[in-house]
């Protein structure tokens, strides 16, 4: 089977590791299928015309194809979709010259990439079309008019739509009723169970992980932590980078909590996992999460979580043995949960947490779910 997996980007530090989930799934598929390619097309206002625009290389059994092109949608908005389609068609032709016609095209973030018109042509010639949705704009129903119009086109012919959470599936069902596309749920992959659990620190450590943006509500976590633990041997570590870094730094300084609250900035994946393994409890207080990877990474590291039902993974899988669940924007509930966790941390079984994460989100668990879908179309 010749499979094309299409993602947002090739993950690098410079682009915030965008495309990491998509590439990881392509590598997973390569364990069972001989011909797997990962395709990503970078459309940007400033194109670097040094060297080739089209690059191909091999990585862990996956043929990587990247293409970059000049694109200014704000200058010619009426022609944005046709121009995007022209660029993507040109890219697909180049890939097809190398790999042959695909049996399956699996598109991640389909609402963002808007490839419906092109993929319809492939579907007519016998290629199966799968889409996997992760995007929060689909979850919250905030696609603009053009995005919504393009998104609905997929559901006129796509064979399979995979969502990373049930709440995302509900949002899609509301948007595209009466579709023949089969819609299912497969979670994101989290796979770092080899990490040992070290708890050698003298103080209790809460940890929060994610992009430093307003929807994550790190400011509210900081205020709740300060109210509960000022002057105590308790730490809060916030891992990540983003637009709110300076605002959060200023808030910590104004509260005079710099000795207890640490902003680490960007850390790579292994560094994040090391921090989780040495923490006691993860906090996620986002307004919404299409999945909630740091939550599962915490369970996989053997630590419980304080989360809201706004995270899809919590709504779909939560068990009281995994931590505490509170309603979104419940500041008082967050404070009480933090106090409770501080006093009852030894009530949580690290071995159970790790096993739960491994059973539901490991590479083997996700590959088994993917294989069930792929084999049904062979």
Domains in the chain with CATH codes:
2-189+362-375 (3.40.50.2000), 204-360 (3.40.50.2000)
Express as a percent the part of the chain with pLDDT over 70. 92
Between these two residues, 74 and 106, which has the higher pLDDT value? 106
Average pLDDT over residues 275-294: 92
Buried b (16+ CB within 10 A) or exposed e, 237-252: bbbbebebbeebeebb
The pLDDT of residue 50: 46
Q: Mean pLDDT check: name the lowest of 97-106, 135-144, 205-214, 261-270.
A: 135-144
Task: Write the pLDDT tens digit of every residue in 129-174.
Answer: 999 999 888 888 888 888 888 899 999 999 999 999 888 898 898 8
Average pLDDT over residues 48-77: 75
The structure tokens 């694109």 sit at: 71
Average pLDDT over residues 114-141: 92
- Mean pLDDT, the chain, whole residue set: 89
The pLDDT of residue 199: 56
Average pLDDT over residues 32-42: 93
The pLDDT of residue 49: 47
pLDDT band at 14 (very low <50, low <70, confident <90, very high): confident
pLDDT of 225 > 70? The answer is yes
The pLDDT of residue 46: 55
Between these two residues, 178 and 266, which has the higher pLDDT value? 266
Between these two residues, 68 and 73, which has the higher pLDDT value? 68
Closest by CA to 297, choosing from 270, 321, 316, is 270
Task: Write the pLDDT tens digit of every residue in 299-340.
Answer: 999 999 999 988 877 778 888 999 999 988 899 999 999 999
Instruction: Categorise residue 48: left if φ over 0, alpha if ψ from -120 to 50, beta otherwise.
Output: beta
CA distance 290 to 293: 9
Residues 6+ apart with CB under 8 A from 24: 189
pLDDT of 237 > 60? The answer is yes
CA distance 218 to 222: 6
pLDDT band at 193 (very low <50, low <70, confident <90, very high): low
The pLDDT of residue 181: 92
Between these two residues, 16 and 330, which has the higher pLDDT value? 330
pLDDT of 250 > 50? The answer is yes
The pLDDT of residue 288: 86
The pLDDT of residue 196: 47
CA distance 322 to 307: 10
């Amino acid at each position: 089977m010749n499979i094309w997996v299409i993602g947002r980007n090739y993950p690098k530090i410079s682009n915030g590791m965008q495309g990491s989930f998509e590439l990881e799934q392509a590598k997973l598929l390569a364990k069972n299928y001989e011909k797997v390619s990962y395709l990503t097309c970078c459309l940007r206002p400033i194109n670097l015309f040094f060297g080739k625009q089209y690059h191909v290389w091999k990585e862990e059994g996956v043929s990587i194809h990247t293409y970059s092109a000049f694109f200014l949608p704000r200058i010619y908005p009426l022609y944005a979709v046709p121009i995007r389609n022209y660029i993507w068609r040109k890219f697909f032709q180049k890939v097809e010259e190398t790999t042959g016609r695909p049996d399956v095209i699996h598109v991640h973030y389909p609402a963002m990439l808007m490839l419906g018109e092109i993929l319809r042509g492939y579907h007519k010639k016998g290629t199966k079309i799968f889409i996997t949705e992760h995007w929060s704009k689909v979850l919250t129903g905030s696609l603009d008019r053009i995005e919504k119009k393009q998104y609905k086109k997929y559901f006129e012919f796509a064979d399979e739509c995979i969502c990373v959470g049930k709440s995302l599936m509900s949002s899609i069902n509301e948007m595209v009723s009466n579709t023949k596309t089969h819609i299912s749920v497969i979670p994101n992959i989290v796979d770092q169970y080899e990490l040992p659990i070290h708890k050698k620190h003298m103080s209790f450590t809460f940890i929060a992980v994610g992009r430093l943006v307003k929807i994550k509500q790190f400011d509210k976590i900081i205020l709740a932590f300060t109210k509960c633990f000022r002057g105590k041997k308790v730490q809060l570590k916030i891992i990540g980078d983003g637009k709110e870094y300076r605002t959060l730094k200023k808030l910590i300084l104004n509260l005079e909590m710099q000795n207890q609250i640490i902003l680490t900035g960007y850390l790579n994946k292994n560094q994040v996992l090391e921090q989780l393994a040495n923490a006691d409890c993860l906090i996620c207080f986002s307004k919404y999460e299409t999945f909630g990877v740091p939550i599962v990474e915490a369970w996989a590291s053997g630590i419980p979580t304080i989360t809201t039902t706004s995270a899809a993974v919590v709504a779909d899988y939560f068990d009281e043995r995994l931590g505490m669940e509170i309603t979104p924007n419940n500041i008082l509930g967050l404070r009480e949960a933090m106090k409770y966790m501080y006093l009852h941390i030894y009530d949580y079984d690290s071995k159970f947490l790790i096993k739960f994460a491994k059973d539901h989100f490991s590479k083997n668990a996700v590959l088994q779910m993917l294989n069930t879908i792929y084999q049904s179309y062979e």
